[in-house]
Amino acid sequence: MRMKNKLSKMLIVSLCMLLIASMFGGCSKQSTNSFKAGTYTAEAQGKNGPVNVEVTFSATEIKDIKIVSQSETAGLGDKAMENIKNQIIDGQTLDVDTVAGATYSSDAILAAVEDCVTQAGGDAAAMKNGGKKPGEGKTEKLSTDVVVIGAGASGVTAAVAAGDEGAKVILLEKTSTIGGASNLSWAGKFVDSSAAIEAGLKVDQEKMISDWVENCHWRVDSAAIRQYVAKSGETYDWLAEKGYTTQFINFFGEQLHMLPAYETREELLKKMLAESVEKKGGQVLTETTAKKLITDKAGHVTGVVAEKADGTTLEITAKNVIMATGGYAANKEMVKENFGFEGVNGGLGQNIGEGLEMAWEAGAKVPDNFGGQMLHQTLASATEKLKTQYEPFEASYPLMLTYLPNFMNVGTSGARFRDEAATLSPVAAANTSAFQGAYHYVIVSQAQLDLLMEKGMNGVKAPSLPGMPPEFYLAWADKFTLDNPWKDADKVFDAMVKNGDGFKGNTLEELAKNAGMDEATFVETFKKYEEATKTGVDTEFGKTASFLIPNGDQGPYYAIKAEINNLGSVGGLLVNTKFQVLNDKRLPIVGLYAVGLESEGVLFNDTYVGNGVGIGYAFTSGRLGGEYAGTNALK
Ligand SMILES: Cc1cc2nc3c(=O)[nH]c(=O)nc-3n(C[C@H](O)[C@H](O)[C@H](O)COP(=O)(O)OP(=O)(O)OC[C@H]3O[C@@H](n4cnc5c(N)ncnc54)[C@H](O)[C@@H]3O)c2cc1C
C-alpha cells in the first residue's frame, strides 16, 4: 500500500500547510485554493472574436495569466482584460467585477480563466464567491438503490442498465458534461456485433482470446477478457435499441464501430438517462463531486458523500455504489510514480484519481499490474501555438509528419530507435516512443520540405494519408489530400522552432547541438539512415524500402518534438466478472462495483494494447456492471 501511505503523508503535509497558512491569515494573496500545478489553456468568446489564455498554476496559486491571442477593441477591451487579469492574480479570485463598457471582453477573460481553474482541478465556484461557497455547511441526505459515480460512457451505461433492472439510481458527475471521454472518441470494438456478422466479418473468438492473453504476458484476467469478447457484441444492439447507434466499419479486417456524430452524442446519452433513470424516480446530478465512500462496521460500502457545486454536502445512502470515475491520467505525479511517464495527458483534465483513492480507502486492492496507461500515438507539441499563427492545415504540418513512416525518428540521444512504420499503428507508435522517454524527434530536411511545398505528401512518397483521428482534420478535410502542396511549409517550421517546439540546424552537428542530442551519435545515425535509403536495406530496423526516403546532404535540418499522448490510465481496481471490487484477499467488497477505465486493468498488463477496446469495454462493463449492481440491490 505504498500509494496509500504516500497519500496519507501528502494529506498530513497538506493539512499542516493549511494550518500554517491559516495562522498567517489576513494577507489578501493568501489562498486556500488547491490546483494541479501546470499550465492550462482555454478560449472564450469576446466581443470581436475568441480570447485565448494560458494560465499557470502552482499547487495553491494562479501564478500567471497570459492573454495569448485576442481581437478586442484596442484601448478598451484589451485594457479591461489586462485590468481583470491583474485583479485575478492579486486577489487569487474570480470574484472580479466586469469593466463597464467592456462587458464582453471582461466576461471572456473571466470565463477562459475559470475554464483553466476547472481544468487544474480548482474550485471555480468558491473562487467566484470570495472563497466561500453559498452551500457550505449545509448537508442534504438522500437514499437510493444504486449510486453511480462518473458520467462517462461506463457510468451512463451502468446507470441506465441498473435503472432498466428496476433499481432507483443516482448518477453523480463532477463536471457539467455527460459522456466523458466518449464524447472525444472515434470508434469502439463490439466483437462479432450483429452488424459485423451481417457484413461477413466474424472473428475466431478462441484465437482472439488466447492471442490477447499471450500478448499481455498472461498477467491479466482471462475470464474478464473472455467475457468482453463474448458479450461486447450484444452491447452494439443494446446501444442501438436505445438510440445510440454506432456504425460498423471493416477497418483493414478489424471490426470497429464508429460512434454517432460528435455533436449528437451527449444528447443521446442524456435521452437514455431520462428514459431509464429520471423517469423512474432516479436523478442525474451534474457538477457534483463524490468525495468519500461511506462504509459500515463490517466494511460494506453503504453510500457516498459528495459535494455540490454550491458547497452543499450530499450524504447518499445506497445498497450499491458503482465507481466509474475514469482513472487518474490527469494526475501527473500519480502517473509518473506508477508508470514513469512524463508525456502529455490527452485525456480528461478532471480525472485525477479521486475514485481510486476513495475505493482504496474503503479497502480495495491495488492490483499487482497497477500503473498501465492508454498510450496512443504521439502529438507534435507545435500544433497549438501554430494554430494561433496559421490556418489549421498549415499548423498541422509538423503533426502530420509525426504520423508518417517516411521520416527518420530519433530519441533524445540522437540514435534511431524503431522501424518508423510503427507510426502506422497508434499503440505501437506511442509505446515504442515511450520506451525512449517522454518524447522523440522526427527529422525533416529542407530538401524534403521543398518536396512537400511542391507536391504535397506525394512529394515524400507518403504511402497514405496520416492516420490521424477525424477530429484532427474535419475542419480542413478538403485540404487533407496527398497531392495538396504544403504552402509556406518553411515558414511554418521556422515558426515551430521560434515557438520552442522544435529545433533547426544548418548542419547535422548544429541540429544535434540545438536539440540537445549527442552530436557523434546523431551524425552516425543520420549517415547510416542515408545509406539505407540508397541501398533500400535498413540493416538496423528492417524498414520497408519504399518508406526509406533520403534527407539529402544539404541543410538546414529540423527536429520536430513528438510527445507521447496518453488517453487515460488503465486500471486501479481489481474486479471479478460481476464487476465487484475486490479487497486485499481478492474477495468482493460488499456494495462496491467498478466499471470502465477504473477496472480495465483486468484486460491489460503494463500498457493498453487495443484498438476500440477503450470504448467497447466502457460501454460493455457499464452495461453488465449496471445490470449486476441493479439486480443485486433489489434482492
Ligand atoms: C481524445 C480521446 C480519444 C479516444 N478515442 C478512442 C477511440 O477512438 N476508441 C476507443 O476505444 N477509445 C478511445 N478513447 C478512450 C475511451 O474514450 C475511454 O477508454 C472511455 O471513454 C473511458 O470511459 P470511462 O467511463 O471509464 O471514463 P471517462 O469517460 O473518463 O468518464 C469518467 C467520468 O467521471 C467523472 N468523474 C471523475 N471523478 C469524479 C468524481 N470524484 N465525482 C464525480 N464524477 C467524477 C469525470 O468527470 C468523467 O465524466 C479515447 C480517449 C480520449 C481521451
Q: Is 326 in the pocket of ligand 1 (CB under 6 A)?
A: yes
Q: Does the Cβ of 350 fall within 6 Å of ligand 1?
A: yes
Q: 55-90: per-residue pLDDT in tens?
A: 998 888 899 999 999 988 877 788 889 989 998 998
Cell numbers standing for residue 192: 462479432
Q: What percent of the chain has pLDDT over 70?
A: 95
Distance 11 CA to ligand 1 centre (A): 26
Residue 209 has pLDDT above 70, yes or no: yes
Query: 106 CB under 6 A from ligand 1?
Result: no
Tell whether the model's pLDDT for residue 1 goes beyond 70.
no
DSSP 367: P
| Any atom of ligand 1 within 6 Å of the Cβ of 324 | yes
Report the nearest atom of ligand 1 relative to the CA of 289. Answer: 42
Distances (CA, A) of 45 to 50, 78, 106, 372, 385: 4, 13, 10, 38, 18
Nearest to 444, CA basis, from 352, 559, 537: 559
Average pLDDT over residues 512-539: 98
Higher pLDDT pick, 517 / 4 = 517
Ligand 1 touching residue 594 (CB < 6 A): no
Contact in structure between 286 and 176 (CB atoms under 8 Å): yes
Residue 171 in contact with ligand 1 by CB distance below 6 A: no
- Residue 187 beta carbon below 6 angstroms from any ligand 1 atom: yes
Q: Which residues contact 42 (CB under 8 A, 6 or more apart)?
A: 52, 53, 55, 111, 112, 113, 115, 116, 119
- Check whether 223 has a pLDDT greater than 80: yes
62 alpha carbon to ligand 1 midpoint, in Å? 27
Cis peptide bond N-terminal to 466, omega within 30:
no
Is the pLDDT at 32 greater than 80, yes or no?
no
Mean of per-residue pLDDT scores for the chain: 92
Pocket residue to mutate for ligand 1, from 160, 176, 185, 246, most atoms within 8 A of Cβ: 185
Atom number of ligand 1 nearest to Cα 154? 25
**Cα separation, 571 vs 604, whole angstroms:** 8
d(CA 180, ligand 1 centre) in Å: 5
Question: Looking up cell 438510440, which residue turns up?
Answer: 243
What is the predicted pLDDT for the residue at 4?
Answer: 40
Q: What is the pLDDT of residue 131?
A: 64
- Indicate if ligand 1 lies below 6 Å from the C-beta of 379: no
Best probe residue, ligand 1, of 615, 620, 621, 623 (max atoms within 8 Å of C-beta): 615
pLDDT of 188 strictly over 60 = yes
Q: Which pLDDT value is given to residue 26?
A: 30
Which is more confidently placed, 523 or 37? 523
pLDDT tens string 155-165: 999 999 999 99
Give the atom of ligand 1 at the shortest distance from the alpha carbon of 325: 34
394 touches ligand 1 (CB under 6 Å): no
CA distance 476 to 121: 33
Domains defined along the chain, listed by start: 28-127 (3.90.1010.20), 140-369+572-634 (3.50.50.60), 375-566 (3.90.700.10)
For a substitution probing ligand 1, which of 36, 351, 468 has the most ligand atoms within 8 Å of its CB?
351
Minimal-distance CA residue to ligand 1 atom 5: 185
Question: Quick check: 365 pLDDT over 50?
Answer: yes
Percent of the chain with pLDDT over 90: 81
Q: Give mean pLDDT, residues 351-362.
A: 97
pLDDT at residue 128 above 90? no
**Cell numbers standing for residue 34:** 488547491
CB of 308 within 6 A of ligand 1: the answer is no
Phi, psi of 577 (to 5 degrees): -75, 0
pLDDT at 338 over 90: yes
pLDDT at 6: 39
Residue nearest to atom 33 of ligand 1 (CA): 150
Rounded to the nearest angstrom, the distance between the alpha carbon of 278 and the centre of ligand 1 is 22
Strand partners, 292: 305
Distance separating alpha carbons of residues 419 and 232, to the nearest angstrom: 34
Residues near 23 by Cβ (< 8 Å), separated by ≥ 6?
none
Judge if the beta carbon of residue 149 lies within 6 A of ligand 1.
Answer: yes
Nearest CA to ligand 1 atom 4: 185
Q: How far apart are CA 553 and CA 556, in angstroms?
A: 9
Which residue type, as a one-letter code, is found at position 356? L
pLDDT category at 19 given cuts 50, 70, 90 is: very low
Is it the case that residue 503 has pLDDT exceeding 90?
A: yes
> Considering the entire predicted model, what is its pTM?
0.81
Is ligand 1 within 6 A of the CB of residue 150? yes
Give the residue among 424, 422, 300, 375 at the shortest CA–CA distance from 563: 375
Q: Is 345 in the pocket of ligand 1 (CB under 6 A)?
A: no
Ligand 1 touching residue 273 (CB < 6 A) = no
pLDDT of amino acid 59: 84
Q: Does ligand 1 have an atom closer than 6 angstroms to the CB of 170?
A: no
Residue 28 has pLDDT above 80, yes or no: no
* Ligand 1 atom index nearest CA of 610: 11
Average pLDDT over residues 222-231: 98
**Residues ≥6 apart with Cβ < 8 Å to 342:** 332, 336, 437, 438
- Where does the pLDDT of residue 344 fall: very low under 50, low under 70, confident under 90, or very high at 90 and above? confident
Residue 3 has pLDDT above 80, yes or no: no
CB distance 596 to ligand 1 below 6 Å:
yes
The Å distance, Cα 590 to ligand 1 centre, comes to 25
Whether 592 lines ligand 1, by a CB cut-off of 6 Å, is: no
Tell me what pLDDT residue 134 has: 81
For 582-607, how does the pLDDT look when each residue is reduced to its tens digit (9 = 90+)? 999 999 999 999 999 999 999 999 89
Question: Ligand 1: distance of its center to the CA of 152 in Å?
Answer: 5
Mean pLDDT of the 552-575 span = 96
With a 6 A CB cut-off, is 152 part of the ligand 1 pocket? yes
Q: Would you say residue 477 has pLDDT above 90? A: yes
